[in-house]
Amino acid sequence: MSQTPASEAARRRTFAIISHPDAGKTTLTEHLLLLGGAIHAAGRVKARGEARRAKSDWMKIEQERGISVTSAVMTFEYKNAVFNLLDTPGHEDFSEDTYRTLTAADSAVMVIDAAKGIEAQTRKLFEVCRLRDIPIMTFVNKMDREARDPFELLDELSDQLQIETAPMVWPVGMGLNFKGVLDLKSDEFVSFGGVGGGGERIGHNALAAMLDPELKNKLDEDVSLARDGLPAFDLATYREGHLSPVYFGSALKNFGVSELLGALADYAPPPRDQSAIGRAVHPSDEDVTGFVFKVQANMDPNHRDRVAFLRLASGRFRRNMKLKQSGTGKSIGVHNPILFFASERETVDEAWPGDIIGIPNHGVLRVGDTLSEGGGVIFTGIPNFAPEILRRVRLADPMKQKHLARALESLAEEGVTQLFKPQIGSQWIVGVVGMLQLDVLKSRLVAEYGLDADLEMAPYDAARWLSGTDAELEKFAAGNRGGMAADRDGAPVFLAKSAWEMGYVAEKFPGVKFLKTRERHEVHAES
């Protein structure tokens, strides 16, 4: 069969994994990669020794703390499908990176701890998926530990997230008494086998000999209730984002993971249409288009590299192609495109809609940029968010000021921080969503740039982008010089000392809008 953008897009499954911290997301990622033949031994986040580190957590700070702080991309094949897996940070302090990553995903897997159910960050990430109509599969993890009643968990999912749930398998027992799951489609029992995961399939009729009568009766009752009282799986409803198929298992013991991956291959949507200014871009379009949703610096600590992650939206991409950058109209030759396996990479000769390729990039490409063969396409929906914590950066060695500016620029380009230059004063102001990001910033300034910097309290409480007519903005700036700053693109920003001040200036200048988000494509539109 000849390869076309439409036929190759149909094989692609580009999905993200979302969860609350410690629900087992990174462990699940490792076992999905193991099944896809991408790795030979699954690591664990808290494993000891270099050889057993989780592949998707490649940064030094990630390995030290046992958490994911940056999104990773991994490509592998399974059941004639090509998977592009996006492993996102679970910690809410890195939610901005996660949000941008979700712009590149066509579906998501939501990992839930069987003992805890829906947690705060899970709810936030789910809402982001809902905003983008991203279909979600649910994996209830850690069934081999003490867990809540499955009906209770499913009710909570339905009530709190306002989504229908369709169990695809039903758990038999929990904790030390966890025996496996019943596949509700095939009516086969999948046995749980401890450390290796088990996975042997047994006909329903043979179960009576395996389970004690009490457990067998409970299973029959539960399955009857589930089939009568809960929605059946419907592909169209799932792909519309209104129904979540639910799987139960244990990522650590590699149980239930193959069923989940098989479901992603069979049911998850192929690449979707992407919204652009004035039109939608279809995967089957011949013209090559894509958008940058992430920039990562220093993936290889031996080289000061910087890689832009490009999600292809349409066309057949070929190595050495020239693509035009939105806004500037400049042509960029893509000579060494790469496919990712966490921090490892290989050069790729061609790629298709849904694929994520890396473009080595020396400060030319930014998050939100569109690349296209013919130019004229600008994708929307990749915003910057106003930070919640502001700090002033002070160097121990003032002679390294220029070096600091370059380092902060590079980290801001990745989305690790927002960066603001006040009109009055020479010190940079960095903005982050959560305190943990400040630790990451300090750690990376030392490890990657050799800079010892203090992050001092800034005299500001909030940052907002300004929008309005030139006359209104000039009038506002003239009266508020002390709070005026510019972001990395030169866009005007107001730094307020308090919520009261923000309310006061908003009332005094009704012609000026104070924005919490700003789309990347607006930068070029206004410059």
- Residue type, position 343, single letter: S
Q: Which CATH number applies to 274-372?
A: 3.40.50.300
Residue entry with tokens 């290989």: 346
> For residues 256 and 31, is the Cβ–Cβ distance under 8 A?
no
Where in the chain are the domains? 17-68+108-267, 274-372, 383-526
Token pair 């939610």 is found at 95
pLDDT at 521: 57
One fold for both 274-372 and 383-526? no
| Residue 273 to residue 450: CA distance in whole angstroms | 44
Which is nearest to 415 in space by CA: 290, 292, 276? 292
Distance between start and end Cα atoms, the chain: 47
Tokens 């203090």 locate to 454
- In angstroms and rounded to an integer, the radius of gyration of the C-alpha atoms of the chain is 25
Whole-prediction pTM value? 0.78
Give the residue from 254, 224, 217 showing the smallest Cα distance to 141: 254
The answer to whether the beta carbons of residues 164 and 244 sit under 8 Å apart is: yes
**Domain 383-526 adopts which CATH fold?**
Alpha-Beta Plaits (3.30.70)
What CA–CA distance (Å, rounded) separates 504 from 508?
6
| pLDDT score of 95 | 58
CATH number of 17-68+108-267: 3.40.50.300
Q: What is the pLDDT of residue 89?
A: 63
Q: What are phi and psi of 499, to 5 degrees?
A: -65, -35
Q: Is 202 helix (H, G, I), strand (E, B) or coil?
A: strand
Q: Cβ-count burial of 251 within 10 angstroms (0-12 exposed, 13-18 middle, 19+ buried)?
A: buried
Check residue 366 and give its pLDDT.
81
Cα atoms in the 13 Å half-sphere on the side-chain side of 8: 20
Rounded Cα gap, residues 138 and 95, in angstroms: 20
CA dist 274 and 354 (Å) reads 11
Structure-block tokens of residue 440 = 């990451």
- pLDDT string in tens for the chain (527-residue length): 578 999 999 999 999 998 887 888 888 988 888 887 755 444 443 333 333 344 444 344 444 444 333 446 888 888 889 999 987 764 454 456 677 788 899 999 999 999 999 988 788 788 878 878 899 999 999 999 999 999 999 999 999 999 999 999 999 999 988 999 999 999 999 988 755 556 688 887 777 778 888 888 999 999 999 999 999 999 999 999 999 999 999 999 999 999 999 999 999 999 999 988 888 999 999 999 999 988 876 555 555 567 888 999 999 999 999 999 986 788 999 998 988 764 467 888 999 999 999 898 766 888 888 999 988 888 887 777 788 889 988 888 878 888 888 888 877 777 667 889 998 876 789 988 777 778 878 888 888 888 888 888 989 999 999 999 999 999 999 999 999 999 888 889 999 999 899 999 999 999 999 998 887 655 444 43
For helices 213-229 and 150-161, give the axis angle rounded to 10 degrees.
Answer: 20
pLDDT attached to residue 51: 39
